[in-house]
């Protein structure tokens, strides 16, 4: 400790500990504090190094003075850059970014040679005839490596900011499917596709080829390219707030398709493009769908019940409207006793306590026969819907479904076997919300009555709770069934509360209702799949595959290596 | 340049006149072939572009391992055998020594890649991929191999024996490969810095998909040059 050899590392370690400790324990920001502390470290190191140089004699003193001189230069540059940064308003953003990069660079230029110089100094002091030349070369190496690291950081920063990518795979094109072209061709009025993209974006070229093919297939399709930054008023009109969106306009209706602008996602975007375009065209071009909820037989209504909100249908109405449906009420006064309104897509009878009139039943049967959809949510204590269920081959059974394994814990603790959950459902293209949840959403039901299905029933259950979730052995006793005998579709529920506000708050029930509306309005998933650059699967016959395996794994590599060995042996021999 | 070429030729013959070079070559091609048939082609239902992408992904592993194996003995082995003194006392700069050895190892890696071209060629013949997709894939593989070679060469310049060089070089490469996972645990801004430094995940993927990326190329080339600089300065420090 004669020359205070350990002062510098101690000072440095103390400062760094203070800095990192502050960062780790106080979660202080890296930004301003780091700048000040970095400058302090450099200056303290420069002062200590100068003091150290004064304590030494001979050629070693010159070496220490060189290190301290370097630190003084770095420290001074640091202070100068920090003073410049104090008034950021006078400098352009490019200068400010450059200044931010100067600080870590100066810190490295100062401290790495300082640390290496210190190690070398320790070695020099141990020798009676120190080789200062070698130490200076080592110091120069340290400086060069430091500059290399800084250059590495700088190059990568610039490359990160100015990154450009070119997709040369030849996979960047997509063509519309036959079904999309037929769909667009069948439209009455033109459908306009407004693509909001930056002018030179890589995705534009394949999109251009896709929509040009669609335009060629049908004069109904129009394709326009816009930039939301350059044409903000048009973007606002179409409710588009950024680039990467295709607005599909048909008459007064507009649907938007959001696409990723990341070039790496391009292939995935193109793969899904046709299905998404088809969904959007279907959505804007289909006539308005109307859900009628009957009243006048003690049914649940939109309004909350006088005794509380739990059995009201407010949430169900909101879900229907979110699914793009118009909601109306249908009473005897509207003429339900004789006919169902022609604009009706779905008629829902939810929790009727009294049976509808024979004329109303007849009207409902006629509506079904013409392809209309019906929701029949029954109550054990109310009307059992025999008049409508009998022709379908269904009967509401007495009693309630109980399940000990899948019962739901109720608020306040405890559970009842009559309140159960179902997360597994037979899937159908229209059950998108349930399907997407991948079994995570459970539909909850309580006090639901089971159904029995006659052997000679003509209708086919399409969506129902799967065995192993609600009931283990009886498939159709799940309390709810989506069933259809073409072209009509009917959803039957063994408990009207399933559609009430209480259960509809559960995300699983909400998804269930959403899918039910999709299914009942025949809004099945479109069949479109993009034809991406007519890429093909690598299917080959077993014999060919075997040849591929032996050829690629053993054949050529071994042959090449043996030839190489033979050549070397012939020409020069093995060394 | 003549000196670099002479050192390169000397090293190259060193590889080709011993079973070591052929052993590495055969092992890499064997693993590449198995992974290609089992993983990239699989049950044959993969589309050709995807199969090619998977091939370049699986080929990155053997390439990285081969690079470490090829570079481990470049300097450390000579130091161990006492022949490094010949180079150190010769009027050669650190860059010349390191450059010549690096180019020799890179040539061997290039030969391995050349021999593995039968696999993408099959995909090209039976599928619908472009030549440029294959070119981009091999460019990425070469850049990745060059960066790994340079890192392992740097470890070899510091190590006393080939084994220590292999362990140190391998560890460095593994750390760089795993940085992407570490980045998931770090908080900003360190997470983006660590993720950027990740050797494969961040920069190799565009090449696998046939995408030419300035950022990825800049990373691999600058990392290679930095590692070679450290190795060269280390050589000069000693002389």
Residue B13's CB: how many other CB atoms inside 10 A?
15
CA dist., res. A75 & res. A96, Å (int)? 19
CATH classification code of A289-520: 3.40.50.880
User: Which among B34, B211, B236 has CB closest to A166?
Assistant: B211
pLDDT of residue B102: 95
What Cα–Cα distance (Å) separates residue A44 from each residue in A1, A47, A52, B194? 19, 5, 12, 30
Structure tokens at A15: 């400062």
| Contact criterion met (CB < 8 Å) for B48 and A145 | no
CA dist., res. A294 & res. A347, Å (int)? 7
Taking CA A269 as the corner, what is the angle to CA A268 and CA A275, rounded to the nearest 5 degrees? 105
| Contact criterion met (CB < 8 Å) for B25 and A561 | yes
- Could you tell me which residue, A73 or B219, shows the higher pLDDT? B219
DSSP 8-state symbol, A405: T
Residue in chain B lying closest to A568 (CA)? B17
Q: Which of A154, A548, A552 to mutate to test the interface with B (most CBs of B within 10 A)?
A: A552
User: For residue A166, which residues of chain B lie inside 8 Å, CB to CB?
Assistant: 211-212
Residue A221 has pLDDT above 80, yes or no: yes
| Contact criterion met (CB < 8 Å) for A264 and B129 | no
Structure tokens at A223: 């394709």
Assess contact for A152 and B226: CB atoms under 8 A: yes
User: Which among B46, B133, B210 has CB closest to A538?
Assistant: B46
Structure tokens at A477: 């006793």
| Contact criterion met (CB < 8 Å) for B229 and A263 | no
User: For residue B128, which residues of chain A lie inside 8 Å, CB to CB?
Assistant: 533-536
pLDDT of residue B98: 92
Give the domain range for residue B199: 2-238
pLDDT of residue B38: 86
CA dist., res. B156 & res. B163, Å (int)? 9
| Contact criterion met (CB < 8 Å) for A540 and B225 | no
User: Which among A145, A163, A545 has CB closest to B213?
Assistant: A163
**pLDDT tens digits, A329-357:** 887 555 555 678 888 889 999 888 888 88
ipTM confidence: 0.89
| Contact criterion met (CB < 8 Å) for A575 and B237 | no
Name the strands in the sheet holding A221-226, side by side, starting at the edge strand that comes first in the sequence. A221-226, A191-196, A245-250, A253-258
Which residues have a Cβ under 8 Å from the Cβ of B90 and sit 6 or more positions away? none
User: For residue B209, which residues of chain A lie inside 8 Å, CB to CB?
Assistant: 167, 169, 264, 267
- Percent residues over pLDDT 90 in chain B: 46
| Contact criterion met (CB < 8 Å) for B205 and A264 | yes
Q: Which of A116, A171, A547 to mutate to test the interface with B (most CBs of B within 10 A)?
A: A171
User: Which among A156, A553, A561 has CB closest to B37?
Assistant: A553
- Could you tell me which residue, B57 or A54, shows the higher pLDDT? B57
Question: If you average pLDDT over every residue of chain A, what do you get?
Answer: 74
pLDDT band at A473 (very low <50, low <70, confident <90, very high): very low
Which range is least confidently modeled, A38-42, A208-212, A493-497? A38-42
Q: Does domain A174-285 have CATH number 1.10.287.610?
A: no
pLDDT of residue A50: 79
A558 close contact with B: CB closer than 8 A: yes
| Contact criterion met (CB < 8 Å) for B233 and A168 | no
Which residues have a Cβ under 8 Å from the Cβ of B60 and sit 6 or more positions away? B141, B144, B200, B204
Assess contact for A114 and A71: CB atoms under 8 A: yes
In Å, how far is A276's CA from the nearest CA of chain B? Answer: 22
DSSP string computed for A171-218: ---EE--HHHHHHHHT-SS-EEEEEE--TT-TTHHHHHHHHHHHHHH-
B-contacting residues of A 166-225, CB under 8 Å?
Answer: 166-171
Q: What is the interface size between A and B, counted as CB pairs within 8 Å?
A: 173
Strand, coil or helix: what is A509? helix
Q: Which of B10, B17, B195, B208 to mutate to test the interface with A (most CBs of A within 10 A)?
A: B17
pLDDT of residue B145: 96
What Cα–Cα distance (Å) separates residue A39 from each residue in A11, A44, A66, A368? 14, 9, 20, 82
Residue A130's CB: how many other CB atoms inside 10 A?
18
User: Residues, chain B, total?
Assistant: 239
User: How much is the average pLDDT of B223-228?
Assistant: 95
CA dist., res. A516 & res. A462, Å (int)? 11
Residue A464 has pLDDT above 60, yes or no: no
| Contact criterion met (CB < 8 Å) for B128 and A535 | yes
A566 close contact with B: CB closer than 8 A: no
A564 close contact with B: CB closer than 8 A: yes
Residue A101's CB: how many other CB atoms inside 10 A?
15
| Contact criterion met (CB < 8 Å) for B126 and A141 | no
User: 3-class secondary structure for chain B?
Assistant: CHHHHHHHHHHHHHHHCCHHHHHHHHHHHHHHHHHHHHHHHCCCCCEHHHHHHHHHHHHHHHHHHHHHHHHHCCCHHHHHHCCHHHHHHCCCCHHHHHHHHHHHHHHHHHHHHHHCCHHHHHHHHHCCCCHHHHHHHHHHHHHHHHHHHHHHHHHHHHCCCHHHHHHHHHHHHHHHHHHHHHHHHCCCCHHHHHHHHCCCCCCCHHHHCCEEEHHHHHHHHHHHHHHHHHHHHHHHHHC
Pairing relationship of beta strands A451-453 and A488-493 according to DSSP bridges: unpaired
Sign of the alpha-carbon dihedral angle for A309, A310, A312, A313 = positive
Burial class (CB in 10 A: 0-12, 13-18, 19+), A411: exposed
Q: Which of B95, B194, B206, B215 to mutate to test the interface with A (most CBs of A within 10 A)?
A: B215
Q: Which one of A42-56, A188-202, A295-309, B104-118 scores highest in mean pLDDT?
A: B104-118
pLDDT band at A527 (very low <50, low <70, confident <90, very high): very low
Assess contact for A344 and A294: CB atoms under 8 A: no
DSSP string computed for A71-129: HHHHHHHHHHHHHHHT-GGGS-HHHHHHHHHHHHHHHHHHHHHHHHHHHHHHHHHH-SS
**pLDDT tens digits, A101-131:** 777 777 777 777 778 777 777 777 777 666 7
| Contact criterion met (CB < 8 Å) for B127 and A535 | yes
User: For residue B223, which residues of chain A lie inside 8 Å, CB to CB?
Assistant: 152
User: For residue A536, which residues of chain B lie inside 8 Å, CB to CB?
Assistant: 47-48, 127-128
DSSP string computed for A290-323: EEEEE-SSS---SSPBTTBSTT--HHHHHHHHHT
User: For residue A173, which residues of chain B lie inside 8 Å, CB to CB?
Assistant: none
Pairing relationship of beta strands A191-196 and A221-226 according to DSSP bridges: parallel
Structure tokens at A8: 């510098």
Bridge partner list, A465: A425
CA dist., res. A284 & res. A220, Å (int)? 14
pLDDT of residue B61: 94
Which residues have a Cβ under 8 Å from the Cβ of A249 and sit 6 or more positions away? A191, A192, A194, A238, A284
User: How much is the average pLDDT of A419-447?
Assistant: 62
What Cα–Cα distance (Å) separates residue B150 from each residue in A338, B68, B104, B161? 87, 9, 12, 17
A138 close contact with B: CB closer than 8 A: yes
- Residue A312's region, left for phi above 0, alpha for psi from -120 to 50, else beta, is beta
Structure tokens at A248: 């599909």
| Contact criterion met (CB < 8 Å) for A572 and B17 | yes
B-contacting residues of A 225-264, CB under 8 Å?
Answer: 263-264
Q: What is the total count of domains within chain B?
A: 1
In Å, how far is A113's CA from the nearest CA of chain B? Answer: 14
CA dist., res. A52 & res. A61, Å (int)? 9
Sign of the alpha-carbon dihedral angle for A423, A429, A431, A437 = positive
| Contact criterion met (CB < 8 Å) for A152 and B226 | yes
- Could you tell me which residue, A485 or B100, shows the higher pLDDT? B100
CA dist., res. B22 & res. A495, Å (int)? 75
User: Which among A138, A156, A551 has CB closest to B218?
Assistant: A156
DSSP 8-state symbol, A424: -
Dihedral pair phi/psi, residue A289, rounded to 5°:
-100, 140
Residue A198 has pLDDT above 90, yes or no: no
| Contact criterion met (CB < 8 Å) for B210 and A170 | yes
Assess contact for B215 and A166: CB atoms under 8 A: no
Pairing relationship of beta strands A415-422 and A407-409 according to DSSP bridges: antiparallel
B-contacting residues of A 500-539, CB under 8 Å?
Answer: 533-539
A18 close contact with B: CB closer than 8 A: no
User: How much is the average pLDDT of B84-112?
Assistant: 88
Structure tokens at B125: 């013949």
Which residues have a Cβ under 8 Å from the Cβ of B44 and sit 6 or more positions away? A537, A538, A539, A540, A545
CA dist., res. A320 & res. A314, Å (int)? 10
User: Which among B45, B130, B211 has CB closest to A264?
Assistant: B211
- Percent residues over pLDDT 90 in chain A: 3
Q: Which of B117, B194, B208, B218 to mutate to test the interface with A (most CBs of A within 10 A)?
A: B218
Residue of A292, A291, A294, A317 lying closest to A304 (CA atoms): A317
Residue A159 has pLDDT above 90, yes or no: no
Residue of A211, A203, A209 lying closest to A184 (CA atoms): A211
Which residues have a Cβ under 8 Å from the Cβ of A287 and sit 6 or more positions away? none
Strand, coil or helix: what is A560? helix
Residue in chain A lying closest to B24 (CA)? A561
Structure tokens at A288: 């308005």
Residue A333's CB: how many other CB atoms inside 10 A?
10
Residue in chain A lying closest to B47 (CA)? A537
| Contact criterion met (CB < 8 Å) for A144 and B213 | no
A550 close contact with B: CB closer than 8 A: no
Structure tokens at A237: 């009109």
Strand ranges for A331-426 from DSSP E: 344-350, 373-377, 394-396, 407-409, 415-422
User: How much is the average pLDDT of A501-519?
Assistant: 78
| Contact criterion met (CB < 8 Å) for B130 and A169 | yes
User: Which among A169, A553, A574 has CB closest to B49?
Assistant: A169
Burial class (CB in 10 A: 0-12, 13-18, 19+), A67: buried
Assess contact for A417 and A400: CB atoms under 8 A: no
User: For residue B233, which residues of chain A lie inside 8 Å, CB to CB?
Assistant: 141-142, 144-145
**Residue tagged 């645990």 (tokens):** B185
Q: Which of B20, B31, B33, B216 to mutate to test the interface with A (most CBs of A within 10 A)?
A: B33
Which range is least confidently modeled, A472-476, A506-510, B30-34? A472-476
Assess contact for A528 and A278: CB atoms under 8 A: yes
Name the strands in the sheet holding A460-463, side by side, starting at the edge strand that comes first in the sequence. A325-330, A289-294, A344-350, A373-377, A488-493, A480-485, A460-463
Assess contact for A75 and A115: CB atoms under 8 A: no
Half-sphere exposure of A348 toward its Cβ, with a 13 Å CA cutoff?
Answer: 27
Residue A532 has pLDDT above 50, yes or no: no
Question: If you average pLDDT over every residue of chain B, what do you get?
Answer: 88
| Contact criterion met (CB < 8 Å) for A152 and B222 | yes
| CA A205 and chain centroid, separation | 24
pLDDT of residue A472: 31
């Amino acid at each position: 400790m004669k020359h205070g050899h350990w002062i510098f590392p101690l000072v440095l370690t103390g400062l760094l500990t203070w800095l990192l400790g502050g960062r780790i324990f106080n979660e202080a920001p890296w930004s301003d504090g780091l700048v000040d502390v970095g400058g302090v470290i450099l200056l303290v190191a420069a002062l200590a190094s100068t003091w150290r140089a004064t304590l030494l004699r001979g050629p070693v003193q010159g070496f220490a003075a060189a290190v301290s001189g370097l630190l003084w230069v770095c420290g001074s540059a640091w202070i100068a850059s920090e003073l410049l940064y104090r008034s950021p308003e006078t400098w352009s953003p490019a200068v400010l970014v450059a200044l931010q990069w100067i600080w870590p660079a100066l810190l490295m230029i100062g401290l790495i040679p300082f640390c290496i110089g210190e190690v070398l100094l320790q070695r020099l002091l141990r020798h009676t005839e120190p080789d200062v030349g070698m130490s200076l070369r080592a110091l120069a190496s340290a400086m060069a490596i430091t500059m290399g690291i800084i250059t590495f950081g700088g190059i990568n920063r610039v490359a990160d900011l100015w990154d450009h990518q070119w997709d040369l795979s030849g996979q960047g094109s997509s063509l519309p499917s036959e079904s999309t072209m037929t769909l667009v061709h069948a439209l009455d009025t033109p459908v306009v596709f407004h693509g909001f993209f930056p002018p030179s974006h890589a995705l534009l070229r394949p999109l251009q080829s896709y929509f040009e093919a669609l335009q060629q297939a049908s004069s109904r399709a129009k394709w326009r390219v816009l930039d939301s930054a350059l044409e903000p008023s048009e973007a606002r009109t179409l409710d588009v707030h950024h680039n990467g969106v295709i607005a599909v306009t048909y008459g007064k209706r507009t649907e938007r398709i959001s696409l990723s602008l990341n070039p790496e996602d391009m292939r995935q975007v193109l793969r899904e493009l046709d299905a998404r375009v088809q969904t959007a065209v279907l959505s804007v071009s289909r006539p308005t769908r109307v859900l009628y909820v009957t009243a006048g037989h003690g049914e649940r209504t939109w309004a909350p019940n006088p005794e509380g909100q739990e059995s009201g249908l407010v949430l169900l109405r909101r879900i229907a409207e979110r699914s793009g449906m118009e909601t109306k009420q249908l009473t005897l006064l509207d003429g339900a006793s004789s006919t169902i309104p022609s604009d009706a897509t779905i008629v829902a009878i939810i929790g009727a306590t009294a049976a509808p009139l024979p004329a109303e039943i007849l009207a409902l049967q006629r509506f079904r026969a013409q392809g209309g959809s019906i929701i029949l949510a029954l109550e054990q204590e109310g009307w059992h819907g025999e008049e409508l269920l009998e022709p379908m081959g269904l009967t509401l059974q007495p009693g309630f479904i109980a399940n000990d394994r899948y019962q739901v814990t109720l608020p306040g603790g405890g559970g009842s076997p009559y309140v159960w959950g179902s997360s597994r459902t037979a899937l159908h293209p229209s059950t998108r919300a349930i399907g997407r949840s991948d079994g995570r959403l459970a539909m909850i039901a309580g006090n639901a009555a089971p159904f029995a299905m006659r052997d000679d029933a003509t209708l086919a259950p399409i969506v129902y709770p799967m065995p192993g979730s609600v009931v283990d052995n009886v498939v159709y006793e799940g309390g709810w069934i989506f069933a259809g005998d073409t072209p009509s579709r009917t959803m039957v529920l063994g408990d009207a509360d399933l559609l009430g506000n209480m259960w509809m708050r559960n995300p699983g029930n909400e998804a269930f209702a959403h899918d039910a509306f999709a299914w009942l309005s025949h809004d099945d998933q479109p069949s479109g799949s993009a034809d991406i650059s007519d890429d093909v699967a690598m299917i080959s016959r077993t014999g060919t595959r075997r040849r591929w395996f032996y050829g690629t794994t053993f054949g050529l590599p071994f042959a090449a290596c043996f030839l190489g060995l033979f050549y070397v042996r012939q020409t020069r021999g093995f060394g | 340049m003549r000196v670099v070429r002479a050192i390169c030729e000397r090293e190259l013959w060193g590889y080709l006149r011993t079973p070591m070079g052929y052993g590495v070559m055969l092992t890499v091609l064997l693993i590449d072939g198995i992974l290609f048939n089992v993983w990239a082609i699989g049950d044959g239902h993969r589309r050709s572009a995807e199969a090619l992408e998977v091939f370049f992904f699986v080929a990155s592993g053997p390439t990285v391992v081969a690079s470490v194996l090829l570079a481990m003995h470049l300097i450390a082995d000579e130091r161990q055998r006492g022949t490094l003194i010949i180079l150190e006392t010769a009027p050669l700069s650190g860059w010349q020594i390191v450059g010549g050895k690096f180019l020799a190892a890179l040539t061997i890696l290039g030969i391995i890649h050349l021999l593995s071209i039968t696999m993408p060629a099959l995909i090209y013949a039976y599928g619908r991929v472009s030549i440029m997709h294959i070119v981009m894939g091999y460019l990425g593989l070469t850049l990745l191999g060059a960066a790994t070679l340079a890192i392992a060469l740097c470890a070899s310049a510091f190590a006393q024996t080939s084994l220590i060089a292999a362990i140190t070089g391998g560890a460095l490469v593994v750390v760089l490969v795993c940085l992407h996972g570490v980045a998931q645990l770090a908080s900003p801004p360190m997470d983006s810095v660590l993720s950027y430094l990740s050797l494969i995940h961040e920069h190799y993927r565009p090449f696998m998909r046939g995408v030419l990326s300035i950022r990825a190329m800049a990373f691999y080339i600058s990392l290679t040059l930095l590692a070679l600089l450290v190795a060269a300065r280390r050589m000069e420090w000693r002389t």
